[in-house]
Amino acid sequence: MNGIGTKAESRTDSGVWLHGVLADSSSGALSATRGISGTPVRSVTAAGLVAVVSDVPLAEYGEQALRRNLENPVWLERTVRSHHAVVHQLSRTGAVVPARLAIIYNSDERVAHGLADRHDELAAALEWITGREEWGVKAYAVPDRDVVRAPDADSASPSDASPDDAGPGAAYLRRRKAELAARQQGQQAAAAAAEEVHAALAVHAVAARRHPLQDRRLSGAATAMVLNGAYLIEREGVRRFAAEFHRLASRSWPIRLELTGPWPPYSFVDTRENPAPQREESA
Amino acid sequence: MTTPAWSDMAPATRPADYQPVALVDVLDRVLGTGVVISGDVTISIADVDLVRISLNALIASVGSLVPTPRISEAGEDTT
């Protein structure tokens, strides 16, 4: 990826989108990779580090345009997937510190400054993720069929019945109460199972963290999410991790598990600071 | 392209390679903070500017973005 060329100086109609940072010694096959908005991916080298970038038109990615476009789900998805595709590609050939979404510089010079300014932090991050990959495990509550059926049995809670409790209204209230109690129990059981899964998986991980639970409107899942975990795994340990996942997934309990990955180590390089620039970004 | 070290793995251990990546999972990661519905997603650009993605539009369209929602277990609403 060396010598692919540098961006013309001080052009103001395009910005430089950061995909990720590699060690200088890495030799990825970037030439065929397309970046954001279809432009070829380039590299900017400084301070022993390589920033992988692509040029973006400011008419679309400048501050104001970005605000507008990020609200457009079609645009957002295309941009997110393009960025991820590059990062994913890079991560398959070596360690990469993935950049967060929408880190845009004014020029290659700014990128180089960013690399130099954050050299120690970036070098440490690269070392930390080398030979490791991220895996995701999501857990969803599974309604317990017996518990769900309970409301149909009117005699389920005879202790609640008082002499004048025989009317259909009272029966409805009893059913409703039992239903709510069952639902609450189910949620507690699922949450407890999620804790157990996370702890068991973390044993096999170099680092583990939990992302916020995904709303069902976004995940499209039929039931509530109870775990959105990310695990940084030594490459040699992936088999053990996968085996543990399958052991947990095949257990009979009130959650359903999903494994995703391998991911570039997005969730494990964001150490309070972005591996990113300072101020001058907005055009 | 170099062969990934895990390419010899059984499909069962690499299930994600056989599924499309869900947009919401990528968003969790590229936004750094995860996607939370209470309010909007906030993106900081260059540590300074804040861009809020209103998720209403995203939710409206996400049905077509999410691969294979599992309707089979839809039985009871658990929220």
In angstroms, the CA A87 to CA A52 distance is 9
Partner-chain residue, chosen from A73, A239, A270, that has the shortest CB–CB distance to B61: A73
A80: number of Cβ within 10 Å: 20
Read off the pLDDT band of B19 (50, 70, 90): low
Task: Write down the pTM of the prediction.
Answer: 0.74
ipTM (interface predicted TM): 0.80
Which has the closest alpha carbon to B29: A245, A105, A98?
Answer: A98
Which residues in chain A are contacts of B15 at CB distance < 8 A? 259
Query: DSSP E strands: which ranges in chain A?
Result: 14-23, 41-46, 49-57, 97-98, 104-105, 132-141, 207-210, 225-234, 255-263
Q: What is the pLDDT of residues A140-183, one digit of tens each?
A: 999 765 444 444 444 444 455 455 567 888 999 999 999 899 88
Q: Which residues in chain A are closer than 8 Å to B13, comparing Cβ atoms?
A: 238-239, 242
- Nearest-Cα distance to chain A for B2, in Å, is 7
Q: Could you tell me the pLDDT band of residue A32, with boundaries at 50, 70 and 90? A: low
Q: Categorize the per-residue pLDDT at A75 as very low, low, confident or very high, splitting at 50, 70 and 90.
A: confident
User: DSSP character for A164?
Assistant: T
Mean pLDDT across chain A, nearest whole number? Answer: 82
Measured CA to CA, the distance from residue B51 to residue A223 in angstroms comes to 30
Task: Round to whole Å and give the CA distance between A268 and A208.
Answer: 8
Residue closest to A140 by CA, chosen among B73, B28, B11 = B73
For the CA atoms of chain A, what is the radius of gyration?
A: 25
Give the residue-averaged pLDDT of A35-41. 85
pLDDT score recorded for residue A217: 77
Residue-wise pLDDT tens digits, A239-265? 999 999 999 999 988 999 999 999 999
Q: Which chain B residue is nearest to residue A216, measuring alpha carbons?
A: B79
A-chain residues near B70 (CB < 8 A) = 221-222
Q: What is the pLDDT of residue A191?
A: 94
CA dist list (Å): A258 to A95, A116, B36: 25, 40, 20
* Predicted local distance difference test score (pLDDT) of residue A225: 93
Instruction: Give the number of C-alpha atoms closer than 13 A to the C-alpha of residue A270, restricted to the C-beta side.
Output: 19
| A233 to A10, A46, A139, A230, A264: CA distances (angstroms) | 42, 29, 19, 10, 11
Q: How many CB atoms lie within 10 A of CB B44?
A: 18
- Using alpha carbons, list the distances in angstroms from residue A45 to A4, A19, A86, A106, A145: 11, 14, 17, 16, 59
Pair type for strands A49-57 and A41-46: antiparallel
Nearest to B23 by CA among B8, B10, B6, B41: B41
Chain A residues whose beta carbon lies within 8 Å of the beta carbon of residue B72: 222
Of A62 and B15, the structure prediction assigns the larger pLDDT to A62
Q: What angle do CA A202, A236, A251 make, to 5 degrees?
A: 45
Q: Mutual orientation of helices A238-249 and A168-202 as an angle, nearest 10°?
A: 160
Specify the pLDDT at position B58: 54
The pLDDT assigned to A206 comes to 96
Ramachandran angles phi, psi of A276, nearest 5°:
-145, 180
Q: What is the pLDDT of residues B22-72, one digit of tens each?
A: 888 998 888 765 544 433 444 544 444 344 455 554 554 444 444 433 333
Percentage of residues of chain A with pLDDT beyond 90: 45
Cis bond upstream, residue A158 (ω within 30): no
Residue B15, Cβ density class (10 Å: 0-12 exposed, 13-18 middle, ≥19 buried): middle
Q: How many CB atoms lie within 10 A of CB A159?
A: 5
Beta-carbon contacts of A114 under 8 Å, excluding residues fewer than 6 positions away, are A18, A51, A105, A276, A277, A278
- Chain A (65-94) residues lying within 8 Å, Cβ to Cβ, of chain B: 66-67, 70-74, 76-77, 80-81, 83-84, 92-93
pLDDT reported for residue A172: 92
